Chains A and B, each alone.
Chain A
Amino acid sequence: MTPSLRRSVGDVLETIGTWPTDTVAFVDAEWLAGTPLDAAVLVLLVNGSELTFGERRFAATSAASPEVLALAALLEVADDAVQLALTSSPGPVTVTGRGIIAELVRRRLPTASPEPSPAVIVDTTGDAETIAQAASDLADGGTLIVAGELAGRALPMNLYTDVHRRGLLVTGAQSLLGSFPSAAAQSAAADMLPGVAPRYLESGRSLPADGWRWSRFAPSAP
């Protein structure tokens, strides 16, 4: 069974599956928020220079740390969302979510402040209700960029009222770990890491209160 995590009663993270030695997991805060109690949490696994996210697995020679590799993978999603946002409209952009991808998008956009009717919304939550609200908040003719992970969750939408009638454009940022993170992404991630370091967590300990954007989890403390 692929190693993963679950959140148990008392907001405690526990490992599930066979957890190979030296494997660490990285979790965006939004992935955890969208996962019900006792269900497997989405994780980006790093073992040396091998990265796994769901069914996707890539390995390449790299001297980068697990944190840098994970951040580089996340950064590629964020960068793609930013590119889509910049090419969609010169107008204001709103970013939903409080995880690391949301943070990376905000940092790379010139204006990423909440607006009453933004021309572009980048959703990083993958949450159906948030996405529906985002579509509702957008200005007519606006663009919705989905960069959050749905993790198999259904996304019901009234495409008539939410998209068709208002002339919205819906697109998605590239999937997380569509390929092994590029050297450029690794380099950028290495530069950024000190400012966006993950919260270190370990099995059996209660999750910290709000304020963390992503976490690094290992069965035992590093």
Chain B
Amino acid sequence: MTSARESAQRAAREQVVTRLTRAGLAPEQLADIEREILWWTWSRVQAVQNRSLLLHGQGIAWGSTGYAQLVDVDVPRPGPGRVTVQTDASVVSPGTERAQYLRLPNTAVGLLGRPGYSAAGVIVSIGRGVEDLSVGDRVAVAGVPHASLAVAPSSAAFRIPNGISGPEAAMVQLGVIAAQGVVHGRIADGSRFAVVGGGLVGALALRIGIAQGGVGVAVVARSREKESAALAGGAQSFVTSEDGAAAIAADVVIESTGDPEGVLTAIRAAAPGGRIVLLGSPRGVTSHVPIDLLRERRLTLVGAHVDTLDQASSRTGRDERRTRGEHFLELVAQRRVRVDDLAGPAIDPRDAGPFYRRLTSDRSLVGAHFDWTLLPDNQRCRRGHLLRIPNILAKGVDARDRPLRPRPGLAKRLAIGDPFEGAQGRVRFGILGCGDIATANSGAIGLAPNAEVIACYDPVRRLAESLARPHGAAVTDSAEALCARQDVDAVVICAPHHLHAPLATIAIEAGRHVVVEKPLTNDWSSAVDLVRAAASAGVVLSVCFPQRFEPATTVAKHLVQRGLLGDFEGAAVSLYLDKTPAYWIGGFSGRSPSDWRSSRAKAGGGVLIMNLSHHIDLVRHLAGVDVENITAVTDATADGDAIESEVIAGLTFANGAVGSIVGGSSVRGVTGAELRLWGTDGHVALEPKPRVYPLGRMDGLRPGRWQSFGALPIYSARSVFFTRFSTAVTTGQPVDVTADDGLAVQAVMEATYRSANSGRRVSVTDLLEAAR
């Protein structure tokens, strides 16, 4: 029956949860906040009870959503009979921690979500009544979480014998666990024993068993990934098949896999009358325990969980855990049990997120340890404050519009230097088409240190004149006349889409380099012809995708190149525009009235080709992977001249990643965009606000936190585009946006329209291959 107190507590909690939920926090965040507050409160209650100060460090926490990260940890200075240790290394038990991380059955990490087994370090503080240990002693500590600071009973702290490294000593708890297999198996001189499972606990059991005089006849595993560790540990054979297991006939079989069906393999590997020790914790129900076989072969099954040592202690009256721990360290010190090769790679605790994610799929890892010495000293251990505010923000889940501010100097560390640096040459541009976008492009060229506008043409002469005037440029009577000018090095096509190909062709035939305002053309076949023509003429053809050079994009690209995403897994693009009726006859400015934007024959399409082509290019640019297939729908019918107002497309990429494009140009009341890419190790969003979420530590970013890019330099990305284009054509280097890039974006748009018209999936790859 629920007590009044419990009811009141539940009601109070529901009140808090309701208020926080209304404040916009996700359920996952609530659980993490709860954990943080519990830990925060516990440490302070302990500190007050002990009348002691707090120490502040870092620890690894697993959140409710399955992420791992480094969090602030306060620990009280130790109470009576306890010690506080600044850890150098904490050992990872891959099998168990993988199971715990994956929340498999029969696993628990506790309310505080603090994984870990044991560690080694130096005592920084001792409580009253601790007589056999002193501050400064190197100790191994059993039963403590992965953290830079740990508090433990002095009975769980073992002075480290000389000659043992921190990572070796940190295995003390696993050594105690593994020794359970040896003790319960009654392994002694001459005992023929086998171990099922090649993980860390199994490897330790093998080595301890051999040190006790047993004969390690075999290790049985599912694959050969851990064979070398098994053989290095003294196993006489390594078996991967069930038939092979049946031939082992060991007196004792230690089952260490944790696989609920692993006991069946152990039973096969045992000789009649043998003893099977359950050392691994089975993660689920064994569907069919073969009791008949157990009886027929006179086998005995023994549970050997480490907690059963407490039963033993109550029987013997001595601390059996301590006895086992001391014995293990003694064996290691005497080199009767070698563990240096089992300590595995040193993991930077700041990389806990990607490490645990990797652990879920990488079964080759026998051992690993967190190296806490990699953290700056002031993060590992410093004086804590009772009044420190709990850090409850942005714990692993989408913080929406509240990313953390970046650490000072992030942009500098990310090498966002002067984007105009290194400009070479001086390229003279002619502009064909002097409407809306021409003003942006001519302005950008004017700002570029190595480019200038020298000629303009538009059928509406006043537009050409107004554009040319600020640059002191000439106005020509025709496109051909502009392209024929010997002082024109390159031409920028700023005309309606259906004129891109014909105008660019005039320029190419005149031997001019060409920049086409996006898109390349208004249809697929003319785009292919244009790219071929440029290649044939030996001129540079580029498409104006200046968003690649926005400061945030530059930072994002830098981070992605450094491995932010890990394996690219997905991208999402959405663009919502509420275009007014005036737009369709005059564009955004009304500078050049025309209805070409609402004609499919002229524009080639609607919001996809007109606006989303930028985003498609950005996704390709950032991910470095091409779109392979598209399935799409639009609101436009296949016949007729109408363009689409709405488009939704599902993408698959060449590496298996998936993506989505959602666009609308008549989304009433909204103007907004989203552009995000994510992968196995991180997430980057450019819109609506640039921010990044790394699982690992890189370039000063904080793992497991959404964070913005901070104050980035302000400059014209379009001008950077023209500067870099000019440098490239001057030096003969490839331009940033090649004709093939333009064609690839065009292929995505073409495939989208074909899919929407046919109702079928369309291969972008096939389109591009046919074009080559």
A residues within 8 Å of B by Cβ? 131, 140-141, 146, 150, 152, 154-161, 163-175, 178
Q: Which of A131, A150, A164 contacts B304 (CB 8 A)?
A: A164
Question: Which B residues are in CB contact (< 8 Å) with A163?
Answer: 278, 301, 303
Question: Which B residues are in CB contact (< 8 Å) with A152?
Answer: 292
Please determine whether B308 and A156 come into contact, CB atoms closer than 8 angstroms: no
Q: Which of A154, A164, A167, A174 contacts B287 (CB 8 A)?
A: A154
17 more A-B contacts (CB under 8 A) besides A155-B289, A164-B304? A146-B294, A146-B295, A150-B291, A152-B292, A155-B288, A155-B290, A156-B285, A156-B289, A158-B282, A159-B282, A160-B282, A165-B308, A166-B308, A168-B303, A169-B300, A172-B299, A178-B296
Cβ of A115 to closest chain B Cβ, rounded Å: 18
A63–B289 alpha-carbon span in the complex (Å): 39
| CB-CB contacts below 8 Å: B274-298 with A | 278, 281-292, 294-296, 298
Q: Which of B260, B284, B292, B304 contacts A167 (CB 8 A)?
A: B304
Cβ of B608 to closest chain A Cβ, rounded Å: 55
Asked whether B573 is an interface residue with its Cβ less than 8 Å from the other chain, the reply is: no
Question: Which A residues are in CB contact (< 8 Å) with B282?
Answer: 158-160, 164
Closest residue on chain B to residue A170 by CB atoms: B301
A140–B305 alpha-carbon span in the complex (Å): 11
Question: Which B residues are in CB contact (< 8 Å) with A171?
Answer: 294, 298-301
Closest residue on chain B to residue A162 by CB atoms: B303
Asked whether B440 is an interface residue with its Cβ less than 8 Å from the other chain, the reply is: no
Top 7 A-B pairs ranked by shortest CB distance? Answer: A172-B295, A167-B308, A160-B106, A164-B303, A163-B303, A170-B301, A171-B300
Question: Which B residues are in CB contact (< 8 Å) with A158?
Answer: 106, 282, 284-286
Please determine whether A160 and B281 come into contact, CB atoms closer than 8 angstroms: yes
Asked whether B311 is an interface residue with its Cβ less than 8 Å from the other chain, the reply is: yes
A166-B301 contact, Cβ under 8 Å, with A155-B288, A159-B286: no
The secondary structure that dominates the B interface is loop
Cβ of A219 to closest chain B Cβ, rounded Å: 29
Question: Which B residues are in CB contact (< 8 Å) with A168?
Answer: 302-303
Asked whether B263 is an interface residue with its Cβ less than 8 Å from the other chain, the reply is: yes
Cβ of B309 to closest chain A Cβ, rounded Å: 9
Question: Which A residues are in CB contact (< 8 Å) with B308?
Answer: 140-141, 165-167
Question: Which A residues are in CB contact (< 8 Å) with B418?
Answer: none
Asked whether B307 is an interface residue with its Cβ less than 8 Å from the other chain, the reply is: yes
A207–B290 alpha-carbon span in the complex (Å): 31
Please determine whether A170 and B285 come into contact, CB atoms closer than 8 angstroms: no
A146–B281 alpha-carbon span in the complex (Å): 22
List 7 interface pairs A-B (beta carbons < 8 Å), by A numbering: A150-B291, A155-B290, A156-B288, A160-B105, A160-B282, A160-B283, A164-B305
Q: Which of B288, B298, B311 contacts A154 (CB 8 A)?
A: B288
Q: Which of A155, A156, A159, A174 contacts B278 (CB 8 A)?
A: A159
Q: Which of A146, A156, A167, A172 contacts B305 (CB 8 A)?
A: A167
Please determine whether B305 and A174 come into contact, CB atoms closer than 8 angstroms: no
Question: Which A residues are in CB contact (< 8 Å) with B302?
Answer: 167-170
A166-B296 contact, Cβ under 8 Å, with A155-B288, A157-B289: no
Please determine whether B305 and A166 come into contact, CB atoms closer than 8 angstroms: yes
Question: Which A residues are in CB contact (< 8 Å) with B106?
Answer: 158, 160-161
A157–B288 alpha-carbon span in the complex (Å): 7
Cβ of A54 to closest chain B Cβ, rounded Å: 10
Question: Which B residues are in CB contact (< 8 Å) with A131?
Answer: 291
A159-B295 contact, Cβ under 8 Å, with A154-B287, A164-B281, A167-B308: no
| CB-CB contacts below 8 Å: B288-336 with A | 288-292, 294-296, 298-305, 307-308, 311
Q: Which of B289, B290, B294, B307 contacts A159 (CB 8 A)?
A: B289
